[in-house]
Amino acid sequence: MENNQPRPKNYLVESILVTLFCCMPLGIVSIISASKVNSAYDAGNYDEAQKASDDAKKWMKYGLIGSAIFYVLYFVFLFAMGGLAMLTGDAGY
């Protein structure tokens, strides 16, 4: 039996990188979804493989965007606290 369906991208590498460098909980969910892509495809469940691929991409993006927002807010907080320390004359030492 010929397979005319292309194998969906599994986003495993991207999911692992998001887990290591960005957001562990969402990265783990993405890794779990990414690991389902190849097994579903090999079993002939093309729709399930595509859904798992879409889920892995979704959770990977959520982790990446969530981390970007967190880091931006963190640096805004640091600069605000530094500016406040400069205005009050308290150098912290």
Number of domains comprising the chain: 1
40 belongs to a structural domain = yes
C-beta atoms surrounding 7 within 10 Å: 14
7 belongs to a structural domain = no
74 belongs to a structural domain = yes
Please determine, for residue 91, whether its predicted confidence score (pLDDT) is greater than 60.
no
Asked if residue 16 lies in contact with residue 35, where contact means CB atoms within 8 angstroms, the answer is no
39 belongs to a structural domain = yes
pLDDT per position as a tens digit, 25-81: 999 999 999 999 999 999 999 999 999 999 999 999 999 999 999 999 999 998 888
- What does the pLDDT read at residue 80? 86
- Look at 83 and 76; give whichever has higher pLDDT: 76
- What does the pLDDT read at residue 83? 75
35 belongs to a structural domain = yes
Q: Give residue 70's domain range.
A: 12-88
Classified as helix, coil or strand, 2 is coil
Please determine, for residue 2, whether its predicted confidence score (pLDDT) is greater than 60.
no
* Residues in the chain, total: 93
